[in-house]
Amino acid sequence: MYSEKVMDHFQNPRNVGEIENASGVGTVGNAKCGDIMRIFLDIDDEGIVRDAKFKTFGCGAAVATSSMATELVKGKTIQEALQVTNKAVMEALDGLPPVKVHCSLLAEEAIHAALWDYAEKHGIVIEGLEKPKNDISEGEEEEEY
C-alpha cells in the first residue's frame, strides 16, 4: 500500500529536529486526525533555504511527507520552495494512498506557514503566498475523509 520511498522516509526520516533561531517556523495541524507538523527554515541573505528541519506529531505518511518536503526545499530559492506543493511531495515519494493525501497537504501548508513567518519577521511580501491556515481541516468537505 505504501511505496518503498514512503516506507524509507517514514523509517529513516531526514531532517528531524529543530533549528535554533530559525528564519521562519510554521506549525499547522489537522483537527480531524489530530496530527501536527512544525517546519523550521533557515534562509540566508540571498533568499536561499540553507536548511530545513521538522517535528511532526502524526501518522507515518505525515512523517514521510515532512521528511521529503524538507529535503525538497533545501537549497531552493523562496519562490522555488513555494512550488514544493503537496503534489510535488507525493510525486517525489512515488505516490500516497488516497486516504493519506491530506497528510501531504500538511507538509505543503507547514512550508507555507514557515515562509509566511519569515516574511512577517522581515517585513516583506512573498508573491503568491497566501496566509496559511493553522488547521488545514477548516472548510474541507467531510467526504474527503
User: Using CB under 6 A, which of 15, 23, 30, 67 touches ligand FES?
Assistant: 30
Q: 3-state DSSP call for residue 39? A: strand
User: Using CB under 6 A, which of 13, 19, 23, 35 touches ligand FES?
Assistant: 35
Q: Which residue is nearest to ligand FES (CB)?
A: 33
User: Using CB under 6 A, which of 3, 5, 7, 33 touches ligand FES?
Assistant: 33
Which of the residues 104 through 133 are near ligand FES (CB under 6 A)? 106
**Least gap, CB of 51 to ligand FES (angstroms):** 24
**Least gap, CB of 110 to ligand FES (angstroms):** 11
Q: Does residue 23 touch ligand FES according to CB under 6 A?
A: no
Write the CB contacts of 9 (distance below 8 Å, at least 6 apart in sequence). Answer: 63, 64, 65, 67, 68, 93
* Closer of 68 and 106 to ligand FES (Cβ): 106
Buried b (16+ CB within 10 A) or exposed e, 6-18: bebbbeebebeee
Distance (Å, rounded) from C-alpha 75 to C-alpha 81? 9
CA dihedral 4, 7, 10, 11 (to 10 degrees): -110
User: Which triple of cell numbers denotes residue 74?
Assistant: 533545501
The residues carrying an active-site annotation are 33, 103
For binding to ligand FES (CB under 6 A), which residues are involved? 30, 33, 35, 58-59, 61-62, 102-103, 106
